[in-house]
RNA sequence: GGGCCUGUAGCUCAGUCGGUUAGAGCGCACCCCUGAUAAGGGUGAGGUCGCAAGUUCGAUUCUUGCCAGGCCCA
């Protein structure tokens, strides 16, 4: 910003803005003046003030921010800025998600230490220290990005999930759930990552592209049934599996009780049982020669249930209740044989069904995904590596494998290690989400979701089907499960701790770090063991990091150990925003904990935005480089343009949005939004400074255009307020954009001359004050949407104030414009908008007839209904379309023909079916108007209100219809010598202005002018000489013969110009 | 297989509580204006509103089915 001089009250504003440059200057000024801090502190806190609670979702900081973070970040800034201006106190603390698999995996890679054993050898303490450093590695870069994008957030008072206070709140939550009976421990089949050596929650395996295609072997194997009397011979039953490695753990087979099964005689005479529905699929294996399969017996699944068979591996032979056929409802015949092989240690259905049948499960696979010693033939092999070995082994047995094929399917992978997951029975702690389902759904109804269909759709459905949430991880870097247990089952005891005080009370030490391994060192004798031998030891697991981020609403405040009122009075938070996939991530975990702990929603309003894609609809990826580099965009185009680009897109309605690979879309924002605003500002300062005028906030102008633009601005304030109150950022942007058209393209353009300080005329302070008033209001409206540009403009308009405060004054410290600040004038707005349509029509007539606008015409005539409202605005129209007179005619039929437009909405209920006849007749012109104003058509009489009359221009007249056809615009295309002369004079003025520009003169410079004209032209120009002189600020004008060398052609005449700047 | 969302101009998207002539921006063509000027503006071409049936006097809009794409869940 250039400092205003004595006579200049505003900075000199270049018509071409350097947005990146001004953005960095403003950042410095905000920094120096602590503007963000002031914007919070100046708003009164409770009890008198109002609070708006924004909760910031914590990112992992072990990578750089990407576009998704930028988008979310902008939204996270727009809403709090708006609410701040509405008078609320909006504190914004950044948060960091520090724990969990991402951190551990990164550290494993960095240290070259992989796997549980290696980490234990390396030392859990050492490992966790490395994690602690690693997770904060990129916080500096994050801060840079966040600052650069004008996202105001407090980094100093940030929360970190690894802080002692935060973790204490987390274990408090755990204890609360425990006390409420919402936690339990179970040995259950879960998605398991052998890469990370830990179970995963059912939503982790659905993260992003964790599920993707994979090819696996599929094996159909035969199990020999123990014979019964009714058998036609020795039977075997065929089962199909895509996990051959689970066959050694097979303990049962499942059939569908309702399904029909057949016994087929195959090559060599063996009898095989499959579902009848599988015959076609297995035709080749079940046929003898070219004959179709020979069915020798038929039975139902119910008949088969209860029969026993011989295990194909003998590792677990003889186990109680095992190797039996069980009837189960989930069995289908789509894939496979209609017989399902059951390994209860490695399948969720398998476990459920077998447990019901009294079969105890076996899990001969260790934490790293390798077979244990139980499976002697494959011990030590990874299960996926063992697949081909198992197949080879079984094939060698001759009559076991019925078919071996490959199978392409979508298979879940570990989101961190990228290894294919397996299902495996493990010990884990669960939150009893299924007990809460009803309350989760009820409380969900209190949340305002944007877009709203998420509430009952994606989120509501997810809640309905939610399963118990596994919250323990067999890892190292995380909040510990605060559970201590007796190491002697003879003296069972479990203690759960919910605070550091409680721990200290029992262990006599006050922990200063709740992380492993320190927390594991806390051991004490089991009070229930009279012998004093057994000890209480902590269970080894740590908590799921989603449990920790879900605890953020209270844990960031160290609730309930501190800030009890602070949290309780502001739960739920007013606003959160993240991308839509968080319906099963952060949104979900916060909701579960909010309901479980407080029986309340965790947030009142939530925006779920969509995903950014490239122009081809692919995900943005570093490899493809299919997006513009954000830092480069900041430097070349600016952050405000990117902010607008993102927040005005359909992505905020939950849809995916495509972004160009270059920055063209963002540059377009500059052209369509930033430049118009900037040009208006630059225009204002140019003339206010030229006149040394200091404008003031003033809405009292009686000038029509002033009143129009004030009313339009009032409309903008209303629209933007409504949109932002509804968290509809895209609509807020749209309302600004359509307003800009009226401001720049109509008000400024039509008012330009009023800003020129023509000598002898008094300065039009109404115009300057009005434009100032409008601009200072617009600056406040766009403050959340374009914080830099708004700041620059507002600060320029209030340069004195900013200077007096040493740069401290800021648009972001202002109040949002009140709804009654500016006059509302609907009638005027309607009339003016109508007038603009008339002007368009008139200009199109000019173009059609090749009549340039500089050439004045005698008149324009408006004929038809509804034109009277623009009569008071005639001068503006005359000016815009350059005519001497605006005429209004009642005799519409002189220029056009009426067409009957029956009003279907009114007539429909009255006439029913006949409406269509009436409409048809009206279209054909088959109607008559009576003297009393009624219309008869197709045997019906239409009264006033039943119809409208449209006016179509007559052939051969220079006339154009308006939208809606209720009036026509007629242009008098007749030219006269005098009009031509005036047009020529205007052409000359234009030529001189161009020359002034080329001579690099200031708009206020006076000149002496020499016009070289031919004799005929001299005569034409003579009456307009004074006017020309005044238009081009010539204090002396002489008419001479043309200088042939420099002459140009103007309207068929040869003209030359010489001008010189006058010193005064 | 179920649920939700989307389908409107060459592209990106608004809109229509049902009314008979559906809008914007970009792109394209032509033109104008310029004391906001390496800007600005106007005009125009371009649409069977995914397809079909139903409800209705009337459907792009409501209902149902189908098709295509996306997301979520099995």
The answer to whether the beta carbon of residue A997 comes closer than 7 angstroms to any atom of strand B is yes
Residues A536-545: tens digit of each pLDDT: 999 999 999 9
pLDDT for position A4:
46
Judge whether residue A210 has pLDDT over 90.
no
Judge whether residue A964 has pLDDT over 70.
no
Residue A578 Cα distances to A211, A446, A513, A604, angstroms:
22, 19, 31, 14
pLDDT for position A963:
65
pLDDT for position A523:
95
| Candidate from A2-11, A103-112, A378-387 with smallest mean pLDDT | A2-11
Residues A166-186: tens digit of each pLDDT: 999 999 999 999 999 999 998
pLDDT for position A516:
92
The answer to whether the beta carbon of residue A458 comes closer than 7 angstroms to any atom of strand B is yes
Compute how many other C-beta atoms are within 10 angstroms of the C-beta atom of residue A438. 9
Nucleotide nearest to A680 (CA to C1'): B36
Distance CA A26, CA A710 (A): 29
| Residues of chain A (933-972) having a beta carbon less than 7 angstroms from strand B | 950, 952, 963, 965
Can you name the residues that pair with A215 across neighbouring β-strands?
A408
> Which residues of A are designated catalytic?
58, 97, 546, 582, 586, 619, 622
The answer to whether the beta carbon of residue A723 comes closer than 7 angstroms to any atom of strand B is no
The tokens of A617 are what?
A: 């609809």
Judge whether residue A256 has pLDDT over 90.
no
pLDDT for position A764:
87
Nucleotide nearest to A1032 (CA to C1'): B35
* DSSP H or E stretch at residue A846: helix A826-848
Chain B footprint positions (protein CB, under 7 Å): 2-6, 12-14, 18-21, 23, 25-26, 31-44, 57-58, 70-74
Instruction: State the residue for tokens 């709740």.
Output: A514
Q: Once rounded to an integer, what is the mean pLDDT over residues A468-482?
A: 92
The answer to whether the beta carbon of residue A838 comes closer than 7 angstroms to any atom of strand B is no
Q: How far is the CA of A662 from the C1' of B72 (A)?
A: 32
A151 three-class SS: coil
| Residues of chain A (624-653) having a beta carbon less than 7 angstroms from strand B | 649-650, 653
Distance CA A242, CA A347 (A): 12
Residues A292-313: tens digit of each pLDDT: 888 889 998 889 999 999 999 9
Nucleotide nearest to A756 (CA to C1'): B35
Nucleotide nearest to A759 (CA to C1'): B35
pLDDT for position A587:
96
The answer to whether the beta carbon of residue A212 comes closer than 7 angstroms to any atom of strand B is no
The answer to whether the beta carbon of residue A757 comes closer than 7 angstroms to any atom of strand B is yes
Give the residue from A1038, A1032, A1029, A1024 showing the smallest Cα distance to A1004: A1032
Residues A51-83: tens digit of each pLDDT: 999 999 988 877 788 888 899 999 999 999 999
Judge whether residue A5 has pLDDT over 60.
no
Q: What percent of chain A has pLDDT over 90?
A: 47
| Candidate from A66-70, A207-211, A231-235, A999-1003 with smallest mean pLDDT | A207-211
Judge whether residue A852 has pLDDT over 70.
yes
The answer to whether the beta carbon of residue A686 comes closer than 7 angstroms to any atom of strand B is yes
* DSSP H or E stretch at residue A9: none
Q: What is the pTM of this model?
A: 0.88
A594, A442 contact by CB (below 8 A): no
The answer to whether the beta carbon of residue A910 comes closer than 7 angstroms to any atom of strand B is no
Give backbone dihedrals phi and psi of A19, rounded to 5 degrees, phi first: -65, -50
Residues A904-930: tens digit of each pLDDT: 888 888 888 888 888 888 878 888 888
Please return the burial class of A366, using the count of CB atoms within 10 Å of its CB with bins 0-12, 13-18 and 19+. Answer: middle
The answer to whether the beta carbon of residue A760 comes closer than 7 angstroms to any atom of strand B is no
Confidence of residue A202 (pLDDT cuts 50, 70, 90): low
Confidence of residue A957 (pLDDT cuts 50, 70, 90): confident
The answer to whether the beta carbon of residue A896 comes closer than 7 angstroms to any atom of strand B is no
Judge whether residue A85 has pLDDT over 60.
yes
The interface pTM score, or ipTM, of the predicted complex is 0.94
The answer to whether the beta carbon of residue A1018 comes closer than 7 angstroms to any atom of strand B is no
The answer to whether the beta carbon of residue A843 comes closer than 7 angstroms to any atom of strand B is yes
* DSSP H or E stretch at residue A585: none
Angle (nearest 5°) at CA A247 between A242 and A251? 125
What residues contact A837, with CB distance under 8 A and at least 6 apart?
A962, A963
What residues contact A158, with CB distance under 8 A and at least 6 apart?
A93, A94, A95, A96
The answer to whether the beta carbon of residue A1004 comes closer than 7 angstroms to any atom of strand B is yes
Judge whether residue A976 has pLDDT over 60.
yes
Q: How far is the CA of A993 from the C1' of B37 (A)?
A: 11
Q: How far is the CA of A1053 from the C1' of B37 (A)?
A: 26
| Candidate from A210-224, A255-269, A718-732 with smallest mean pLDDT | A210-224
Q: How far is the CA of A870 from the C1' of B23 (A)?
A: 24
Judge whether residue A782 has pLDDT over 90.
yes
Nucleotide nearest to A741 (CA to C1'): B41
DSSP A413: B
Q: What percent of chain A has pLDDT over 70?
A: 97
Confidence of residue A993 (pLDDT cuts 50, 70, 90): confident
The answer to whether the beta carbon of residue A1035 comes closer than 7 angstroms to any atom of strand B is no
| Residues of chain A (170-209) having a beta carbon less than 7 angstroms from strand B | 202-203, 206
Q: How far is the CA of A655 from the C1' of B14 (A)?
A: 14
Residues A316-364: tens digit of each pLDDT: 988 889 999 998 877 877 678 889 999 999 988 888 888 888 898 899 9
Nucleotide nearest to A914 (CA to C1'): B57
Instruction: State the residue for tokens 């609809």.
Output: A617
Q: How far is the CA of A658 from the C1' of B8 (A)?
A: 19
Q: Once rounded to an integer, what is the mean pLDDT over residues A943-958?
A: 78
Q: How far is the CA of A36 from the C1' of B43 (A)?
A: 48
User: Of A31-35, A359-363, A1023-1027, which one has max mean pLDDT?
Assistant: A31-35
Q: Write down the mean pLDDT value for chain A.
A: 88
The tokens of A488 are what?
A: 């002697």
The tokens of A583 are what?
A: 């319906």
Distance CA A1036, CA A1019 (A): 19
Q: How far is the CA of A650 from the C1' of B21 (A)?
A: 29
Q: Which residue is nearest to nucleotide B72 (CA to C1')?
A: A458
Distance of CA A432 to the CA centre of its chain: 32
Q: Once rounded to an integer, what is the mean pLDDT over residues A865-879?
A: 83
User: Of A697-706, A746-755, A1031-1040, which one has max mean pLDDT?
Assistant: A697-706
| Residues of chain A (398-457) having a beta carbon less than 7 angstroms from strand B | 453-454, 456-457
The answer to whether the beta carbon of residue A656 comes closer than 7 angstroms to any atom of strand B is yes
């Amino acid at each position: 910003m250039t400092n205003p001089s004595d006579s200049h009250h505003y900075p000199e504003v270049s018509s071409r803005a350097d947005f990146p440059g001004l953005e960095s200057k403003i950042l410095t000024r905000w920094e120096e003046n602590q503007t963000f801090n002031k914007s919070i502190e100046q708003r009164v806190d409770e009890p008198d003030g109002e609070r708006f609670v924004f909760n910031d979702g914590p990112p992992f900081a072990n990578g750089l921010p990407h576009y998704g973070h930028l988008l979310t970040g902008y939204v996270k800034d727009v809403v709090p800025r708006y609410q701040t201006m509405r008078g609320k106190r909006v504190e914004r603390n950044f948060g960091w998600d520090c724990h969990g698999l991402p951190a551990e995996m990164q550290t494993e890679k960095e240290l070259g230490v992989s796997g549980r054993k290696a980490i234990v050898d390396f030392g859990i303490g050492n490992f966790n220290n490395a994690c602690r450093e690693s997770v904060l590695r990129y916080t500096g870069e994050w801060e840079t990005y966040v600052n650069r994008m004008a996202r105001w957030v407090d980094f100093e008072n940030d929360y970190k999930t690894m802080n002692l206070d935060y973790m204490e709140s987390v274990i408090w939550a755990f204890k609360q759930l425990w006390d409420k009976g919402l936690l339990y421990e179970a040995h259950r089949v879960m998605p398991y990552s052998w890469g990370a050596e830990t179970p995963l929650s059912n939503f982790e395996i659905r993260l992003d592209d964790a599920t993707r295609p994979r090819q696996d072997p599929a094996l159909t194997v035969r199990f020999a049934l123990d014979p019964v009397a009714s058998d036609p011979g020795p039977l075997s039953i065929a089962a199909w599996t895509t996990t051959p490695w689970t066959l050694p753990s097979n303990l049962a087979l499942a059939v569908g009780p309702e399904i029909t099964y057949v016994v087929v005689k195959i090559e060599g005479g063996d009898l095989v049982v499959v579902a009848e529905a599988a015959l076609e699929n297995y035709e080749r294996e079940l046929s003898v020669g070219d004959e179709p399969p020979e069915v020798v017996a038929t039975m139902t699944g119910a008949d088969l249930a209860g029969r026993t068979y011989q295990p194909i591996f003998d590792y677990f032979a003889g186990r109680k209740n095992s190797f039996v056929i069980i009837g189960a409802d989930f069995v289908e015949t789509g894939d496979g044989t209609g017989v399902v092989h059951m390994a209860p240690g490695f399948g969720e259905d398998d476990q459920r069904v077998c447990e019901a049948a009294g079969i105890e499960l076996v899990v001969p696979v260790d934490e790293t995904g390798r077979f244990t010693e139980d499976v002697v033939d494959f011990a030590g092999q990874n299960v996926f590596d063992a697949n081909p070995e198992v197949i080879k082994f079984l094939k060698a047995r001759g009559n076991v494998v019925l078919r071996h094929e490959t199978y392409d399917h979508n298979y879940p992978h570990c989101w961190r290690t990228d290894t294919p997951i397996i299902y495996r029975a493990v010990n884990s702690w669960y939150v009893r989400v299924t007990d809460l389902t009803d309350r989760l759904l009820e409380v969900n109804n209190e949340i305002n979701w944007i877009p709203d269909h998420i509430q009952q759709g994606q989120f509501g459905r997810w809640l309905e089907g939610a399963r118990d949430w596994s919250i323990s991880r067999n890892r190292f870097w995380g909040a510990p499960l605060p559970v201590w247990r007796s190491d002697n089952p003879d003296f069972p005891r479990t203690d759960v701790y919910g605070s550091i005080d409680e721990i200290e009370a029992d262990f006599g030490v006050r922990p200063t770090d709740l992380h492993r391994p320190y927390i594991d060192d806390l051991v004490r004798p089991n009070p229930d063991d009279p012998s004093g031998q057994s000890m209480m030891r902590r269970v080894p697991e740590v908590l799921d990091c989603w449990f920790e981020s879900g605890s953020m609403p209270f844990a960031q405040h160290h609730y309930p150990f501190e800030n009890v009122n602070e949290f309780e009075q502001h739960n739920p938070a007013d606003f959160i925003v993240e991308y839509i996939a968080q319906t099963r991530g952060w949104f979900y975990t916060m909701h579960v904990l909010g309901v479980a702990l407080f029986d309340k929603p965790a947030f009142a309003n939530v925006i779920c935005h969509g995903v950014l894609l490239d122009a081809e609809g692919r995900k943005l990826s570093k490899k493809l480089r299919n997006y513009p580099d954000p830092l480069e965009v900041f430097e070349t185009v600016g952050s405000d343009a990117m902010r607008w680009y993102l927040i005005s897109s359909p992505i905020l309605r939950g849809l995916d949005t495509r972004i160009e690979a270059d920055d063209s879309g963002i540059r377009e924002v500059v052209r369509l939004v930033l430049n118009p605003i900037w040009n208006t500002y630059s225009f204002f300062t140019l003339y206010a400074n030229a006149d040394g005028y200091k404008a003031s906030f003033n809405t009292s102008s009686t000038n029509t255009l002033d009143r129009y633009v004030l009313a339009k601005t009032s409309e903008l304030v209303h629209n933007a307020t409504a949109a932002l109150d509804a968290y509809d950022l895209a609509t807020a942007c749209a309302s600004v954009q359509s307003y800009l058209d009226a401001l720049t393209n109509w008000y400024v353009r039509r008012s330009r001359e009023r800003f020129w300080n023509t000598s002898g005329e008094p300065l039009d302070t109404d115009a300057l004050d009005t434009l100032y008033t409008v601009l200072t209001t617009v600056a406040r409206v766009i403050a959340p949407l374009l914080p830099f540009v708004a700041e620059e403009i507002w600060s320029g308009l209030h340069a004195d104030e900013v200077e007096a405060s040493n740069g401290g004054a800021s648009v972001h410290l202002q109040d949002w414009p009140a709804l009654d600040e500016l006059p509302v004038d609907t009638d005027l707005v309607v009339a003016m908008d109508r007038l603009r349509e008339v002007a368009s029509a008139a200009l199109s007539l000019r173009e059609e007839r090749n009549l340039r606008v500089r050439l004045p015409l005698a008149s324009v005539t408006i004929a038809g209904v509804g034109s009277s409202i623009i009569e008071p605005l005639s001068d503006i129209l005359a000016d815009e379309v350059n005519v001497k007179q605006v005429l209004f005619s009642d005799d519409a039929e002189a220029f056009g023909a009426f067409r009957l437009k029956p009003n279907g909405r009114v007539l429909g209920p009255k006439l029913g079916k006949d409406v269509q006849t009436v409409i048809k007749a009206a279209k054909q012109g088959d109607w008559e108007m009576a003297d009393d104003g009624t219309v008869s058509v197709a045997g019906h009489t239409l009264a006033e209100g039943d119809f409208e009359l449209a006016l179509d221009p007559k052939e051969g007249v220079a006339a154009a219809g308006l939208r809606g056809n209720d009036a026509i615009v007629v242009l008098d295309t007749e030219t006269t010598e005098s009009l031509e002369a005036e047009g020529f004079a205007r052409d000359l003025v234009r030529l001189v202005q161009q020359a002034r520009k080329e001579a690099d003169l200031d708009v206020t410079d006076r000149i002496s002018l020499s016009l070289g004209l031919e004799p005929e032209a001299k005569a034409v120009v003579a009456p307009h000489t004074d006017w020309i002189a005044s238009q081009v600020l010539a204090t002396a004008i002489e008419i001479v013969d043309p200088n042939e060398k420099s002459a140009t052609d103007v309207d068929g005449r040869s003209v030359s110009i010489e001008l010189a700047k006058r010193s005064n």
